[in-house]
Structure 1
Amino acid sequence: MMEPKDLPLPRRIGQFLMNFVLEGMLRLALALPYERRVPLAGWLVSRIVAPLAGWRRRIRTNLAHAWPDLPGDEVERLVRAVPDNAGRALIEMYSGDDLKARVRQVTPEGPGWAVVKEAHAEGRPIFFLSGHFGNYDAARSLVAMEFGEIGALYRPLNNVYFNRHYVEAMTTVARPLFPRGRRGLAEMMKYVRKGRFVAILNDQHFGHGAPLTFFGRTAYTALSIPEIAMKLDALIVPAYAIRQPDGLSFRVVFEEPIPHTSPEEVGQALNDSLERRVRDNPGQWLWLHRRWKPGPAGPDARTG
């Protein structure tokens, strides 16, 4: 894993300063009671970080590309709502014990939950697939509290200073963690072979992935998890923690497992599952991702 000493000096200074600001904001929020901390973090990210980081422009660009018929007033609402949810989810992750106290009050929903309990009793592995939607850590913590633990495959952040405390915060929600890459994937495989559960976010651009669709647009999608799941006879269960109107509580929904057909069909079914959730609650998905970047096949294109 990259360390600060591995970076060119200008990049190292830039990352240090960015982490200094963001970590300061986190510490400020963490000094407050949870019920005030979470909305404050949402406000800080939406009103300060988002405009400075160019997030508002990126959200508008993605919406124009994927959802061009969305009314202008709804676009402007999402420009504020998306970073607000991101800020809340971030501080909730840094508030592991408080988040888990909230999640303990949640009754799991959806047809997949009974299947999950049955699989646990049989020692059958499960991949819980979700996206950067609602607060995925709420779903992860619920599974961990019910069954003892749940692994997670994660992508280390580009900012090496921020990544240090970010990973530490993730472990307070649930563990173990496996960084993306050859070594992390091998460790995850060994873990899954023991009949364990792993949570994965599968909604980011993957340049060498399959040209599937998301919101009717070509979205290059990684198929490694469907391939592994089919090889190991692991269940693939879409799982979502949906933020409720109070901004603090969640519904946690476990959908029916995705049938093992082909990796491409499984990947598309997962994209379609997430799209339905995003259409129902568009302010809860991270519209900051460059989800529709071109892949090896050429420029991104509209389909259908």
Structure 2
Amino acid sequence: MARTQNTRGGAADWIADRTLRGLIALALALPHPTRVRLMGWMVRRVIGPLAGYRRRALDNLAYARPALTDDERRRIADAVLDNAGRTMIENYDVPGLLARMADARIDGAGVPDMEHARAEGRPILFVTGHFGNFEAPRAALVARGWRIGGLYRPMANPFFNAHYAANMHALSNPVFEQGRRGTMGLLRHIKKGGMGVLLFDVYSSDGVPIDFLGKPAPTLTSAADIALRTGALFVPFFGIRRPDGIGFDVVFEAAIPHGDPAEMMHEATRRLEARIDADPGQWFWIHRRWKPRRQAKRQRKRDAANIGP
């Protein structure tokens, strides 16, 4: 479910939004490689530590990867924040992103089936996680004439959410706000033979428990449910940042066969885990993916409810 939006916002929200707008405008005035490196540095060294994102990344790494040394966790956390800053400013330059991805090489075992499905008018549902730049593969397809819809998670700050949502629409329509209404809108779009993208690696109390990086993580099966209801090809993809920090490898993996929704999401999770194991600094460890204390509290309530007289 989407979080409840404060549609008016307060003074602190307005100030934070204006500050961020100014930073984005300043960065966009710079040459692309310079702005990308600058935003990576800003989030890694200034914004991330001040906002608590670095501490959250370190805590998540300690929880899911306890065998890592403190130095290894710090190195990964820095890479995570750097990638987050780069991704944000890359995705705020939609025309530039489309132009850069127009000639990007598209690889992976899923490509032939995608092209065949498109030729037949069969719907396609792409799934991915917050890894690398998750918008780069969609931009690569949109730049080639594909029309791909999606869902977005609204920001808590209503002022920031206004231009964030507009930016999402600028890349490719239709785009729907996360929630029941938005999910139904995306379902109708795909049911007509359309294509869409869903990111599945966020915490949801309504999800089914699927181990993620060795720890239970409630995961929605809505992506698999939509694929089953519409007959859509179910394709995991990844926009993997190259070592130069600027370019991307775009990979569309083999489609996940239709079956039990939880098993489909388990396989999608396994594909994402493999990418994270290969390069942990590219996944957004700043997300509250597991919320172990909340999970434990909910489990205690369920256990208490199941105790008979």
1:44-72 C-alpha deviation (Å, 9 max, x unpaired): 11111001101111011000111111232
- C-alpha distance in 2 between matches for 1:102 and 1:59: 30
SS state of the match for residue 297, structure 1? helix
Contact 2:104–2:250 under 8 Å retained in 1: yes
- C-alpha distance in 2 between matches for 1:194 and 1:83: 39
Contact 2:152–2:178 under 8 Å retained in 1: yes
Alpha-carbon distance, 1:171 to partner:
2.4
In the other structure, the counterpart of 1:228 is 226
1:297–1:258 distance in 2 versus 1, CA, 3 Å: farther
In the other structure, the counterpart of 1:272 is 270
- C-alpha distance in 2 between matches for 1:59 and 1:144: 32
- C-alpha distance in 2 between matches for 1:263 and 1:63: 28
SS state of the match for residue 208, structure 1? coil
- C-alpha distance in 2 between matches for 1:44 and 1:24: 14
1:30–1:69 distance in 2 versus 1, CA, 3 Å: same
- C-alpha distance in 1 between matches for 2:226 and 2:166: 27
Q: Percent identity?
A: 42
SS state of the match for residue 144, structure 2? helix
- C-alpha distance in 1 between matches for 2:179 and 2:187: 12
CA RMSD of aligned residues (A): 1.5
SS state of the match for residue 193, structure 2? coil
SS state of the match for residue 148, structure 1? coil
In the other structure, the counterpart of 2:163 is 165
1:2-42 C-alpha deviation (Å, 9 max, x unpaired): 4643x4xxxx1221122122222111101111121111111
- C-alpha distance in 1 between matches for 2:215 and 2:90: 32
SS state of the match for residue 146, structure 1? coil
Contact 2:127–2:223 under 8 Å retained in 1: no
Gaps of 5+ in 1: 300-304
TM-score (norm: length of structure 1): 0.93
In the other structure, the counterpart of 1:302 is none
In the other structure, the counterpart of 1:210 is 208
- Between 1:279-288 and 1:141-150, the stretch displaced more is 141-150
In the other structure, the counterpart of 2:60 is 62
- C-alpha distance in 2 between matches for 1:233 and 1:183: 21
- C-alpha distance in 1 between matches for 2:300 and 2:20: 37
Q: Which amino acid counterpart does residue 112 of structure 1 have in structure 2?
A: G
1:123 counterpart = 2:125: no
- C-alpha distance in 2 between matches for 1:102 and 1:29: 17
1:241-281 C-alpha deviation (Å, 9 max, x unpaired): 00001111100000111111201101111111111111111
In the other structure, the counterpart of 2:299 is 297
- C-alpha distance in 2 between matches for 1:50 and 1:112: 35
- Matched positions, count: 294
Q: Which amino acid counterpart does residue 280 of structure 1 have in structure 2?
A: A
- C-alpha distance in 2 between matches for 1:271 and 1:255: 13
- C-alpha distance in 2 between matches for 1:283 and 1:51: 16
- C-alpha distance in 2 between matches for 1:256 and 1:142: 18
Q: Which amino acid counterpart does residue 190 of structure 2 have in structure 1?
A: V
